[in-house]
Amino acid sequence: MGSGNVKIIQYLVDTRGLWPGAAKTKDLESEASRALALLTEDEKAAVLRYYFVADAKMSLTSHLLKHRVVSVYANVPWPETKLTRDAKTKPVYVDPATGKQPVFFNVSHQAGLVSLVAAAGYDGQVDVGTDIVCTSERRTRDHRVVDTEGWGKFVDMHADVFGRSEAGYLKGDLLSSQSQPGLPQLARGEEIVDFKLRAFYTLWCLREAYVKMTGEALLAPWLEDLEFRNFRAPQPGEGFVQTDGDAYVEEVIREHEVWFKGKKIDDANICLRSLGPDFMTCSAVRTPEKKEDALGWELGPYEFLTMDKILSDAEARMST
């Protein structure tokens, strides 16, 4: 095991303005032919099966990012970046020569944005997870449910994927906690609901990143034993623009109280970031054989990649 030359990679791609000529998923066959040509036949077919073109664009981008990180960081020609799934169904790349994973990665997509977190160059197992959420994607529907059913019911609808204490915290202690900056003074009605929804999606983002890090996803039998306590939402940022380079970030939160089966744990490095007014990202990494390694890694800002760069880099790696 060694932590010496470890590289943490964090990518973000905003797909919302890509392939504007594609009104329907089928249009991607011509509009995104250059990108689709970089996928396997199965991946291409899976992308083109999405009903909504926005989902197809995110899936296409997700595939490209996974192949890219393997090609670049395992130094494999693009056509040999064969992606498979591990025993828990998490997408992985296994080097056929060694049977090992030279780079560990995970992707997430929501509301047009796609994130990838990866770790390369570590001699040992690395578990990585990422999640991206958009607090406003379902705002109208969320507000309608809260207005008609009440906040408690809204939380309870999702209680089966939360930890034991989390639903109670969201329903009761959230507003009385002193550690929740961001609620305007004398806030009322809609502002209070937006504040609560932002806390709800923060918890969602933290939990998804952690659960995806473990690879167990929805099958995890211990979902209710995992609890984030006294968490808080990162402050909303201003807008962000898709350029090559670092994403604009408003607030970064690196300390979280994580409990497992009633005990406080510190097995993972978990970093939560706001991205513009509505998005937030969470990266989670751990090195199960020596937890101090991952706990010491710097989880900096995500790097925005443009589609042009992804495609030209990929094409240059066809026979590397």
* Interacting residue ranges for ligand COA, rule: CB under 6 A: 59, 62, 88-91, 106-109, 131, 161, 204, 207-208, 211-212, 215, 217-218, 223
* Nearest to ligand COA of 66, 317 (CB atom): 66
Distance separating alpha carbons of residues 225 and 240, to the nearest angstrom = 36
Whether residue 109 contacts residue 115, with contact meaning beta carbons closer than 8 Å, is answered with yes
Nearest distance from C-beta of residue 69 to ligand COA, angstroms: 12
* Nearest to ligand COA of 78, 162 (CB atom): 162
Nearest distance from C-beta of residue 188 to ligand COA, angstroms: 28
Nearest distance from C-beta of residue 262 to ligand COA, angstroms: 19
Distance separating alpha carbons of residues 142 and 240, to the nearest angstrom = 24
Longest dimension (CA), the chain: 63
* Nearest to ligand COA of 161, 187 (CB atom): 161
* Nearest to ligand COA of 146, 178 (CB atom): 146
By DSSP bridging, strand 113-120 and strand 103-110 are antiparallel
DSSP secondary structure code for residue 170 in this structure = I
* Nearest to ligand COA of 88, 144 (CB atom): 88
Nearest distance from C-beta of residue 203 to ligand COA, angstroms: 6
User: Hey, what are 251's tokens?
Assistant: 């607030």
Burial of 66 (0-12, 13-18, 19+ CB in 10 A): buried
* Nearest to ligand COA of 215, 237 (CB atom): 215
Residue 303: phi and psi, rounded to 5, are -100, 125
Nearest distance from C-beta of residue 108 to ligand COA, angstroms: 3
Nearest distance from C-beta of residue 165 to ligand COA, angstroms: 14
C-alpha closest to that of 269 among 290, 297, 250: 297
Q: Give the amino acid at 165.
A: S
